[in-house]
Structure 1
Amino acid sequence: MPGGRLTQQDRRRIAAGLTDGLSYAEIARRLDRPTSTISREVARNGGHGGYRPQQAQQATAQRARRGTPAPPPRAPRAPGTPDGSAEEEIIELAVRSGLPRMTARVHVDLLLSEDGRRTAAELTRRLKVSPASVSVAVNFLVDQGYVRRERDPLRRRDIYVVDDDAWYRSIVLSAQRTLDTARAATATAEKVGLDSPVGQRLSRTGTFLERVIEDMMESADRWRDLLA
């Protein structure tokens, strides 16, 4: 029943939802439970990639038999910082938009940091992952313009920063790459001949992409002051 303990059937449905790529919020809606119940259940039983319903059921039964005390309270969050379930939901949305899960975790951790700054060592410690995983994630984020890299000259280490201009910068980089694709399509169309079906298709594609990107950049420039 809603609000009661999770049953073994509930846990099977959670596992099935994770396999299908559903967000915690969607799984919670289907089970008529709070999103925090689902995120807490998954987090304490192997995490998103390691959740197993049978083991989760057994672990819950063992905790109930030995009367496991409540977990210690979390450290206080900075004012305005989302709670754990909200953070997981943001990560899920980023993954569904195409970001690799580790990259999404790193990006969200940076976004939710009080000053938008972390070192690689801090990210490794906070996310409990290998330095190599963090390196791959931050390199992708820097390449896409979501994050910029600063050098700490005193301690000779990199600091990764999400600043107010990050979203504008990422749009500009994405737009430039799409514009390069549009121009390549137009150039290829001219080579194969604008009177051929292939040439006409590529020409239309190039023109469409170029016009859309021009409109997008005008809009980004017009609203950039909102990030200041």
Structure 2
Amino acid sequence: MPGGRLTEQDRRHIAAGLAAGLDYAEIARRVGRPTSTVTRELARNGGPRGYRADLAQRATRRRARRRIATAPQELSAAAFERDDETVREFAEQFAALMVDSGLPRMAARVLASLFTTDSGSATAAELARRLQVSPASISKAVAYLDGLEVIRRAKEGRRERYAVDDNVWCDAWSDSARTTNRWAEAAERGAEIFGATKPVGERLEHMGLFFARLGRDIAGGPVDTVAGEHALTVIAALVHSGTQLTPEQLAAALEWPLDRVTSALHDADRHPDLADPVAVRGNKAGTYYVVARPDRLTTAQRRRLAGTHRRPQ
């Protein structure tokens, strides 16, 4: 029902809509949910390019099983033979690292305090007492962190208890990979606009190659053997067809379920080394095709190669 929790079928519809190149509003309309619900769902589960219905459903079940224990016993540093002053000093150093990364100071102190507490959680009163600040300061910091979805809330009588989210670093890693890829794509477009043989174009060319390789390193990592084989099969199908195909066309040609094709396309996108030296691309029309991987050839090299292609006899 509209406004309720997303079902597994809803998530499959969202994945299919992404594969078809639909925008968030249209996807939301088709699943009968507010656009904000679809936006949050994608933000929490890999973004539009990394979203997979099965993984999102699994992650939701894991989050549902996690419960913050009511009124957990707060253990002191002394209970674990730790020096209170050393613990506080480390927490402040940890917070300083977050501030250097762009997090507001009070939000960083609250997050560092939660991370360095054995229960991983605290109420606003406990945080205010521990950090020796006003409840209002804690309230603003908590609201900021909640907006970033790096902490979770749970009712504890009339109070709320806040806890660190286990997936916070994984989500940050994914965001970093997406940002790096956007830098690479922007630099590549700039090189084409200014011309790869011109000083500006050459500078942007090198920048794009750097960020493309960096993004590949960030987004890399092991992929499940079966999933990797599925991705390779889809890539081979696109290479063999020599044309643009929709997920539905690929599913029909391979005699596969649509979900398997959608997942394989996402894996090919998230793990570019699988497809090396080609890359899988999609467009707004919802079709997919293969191109030479951007960081393998410079713009000048691609331009010189244009028009030299011969189809094998």
TM-score between the two structures when normalised by the length of structure 2 = 0.38
Relative contact order, CA 8 A, sep 6+: which one is greater?
2
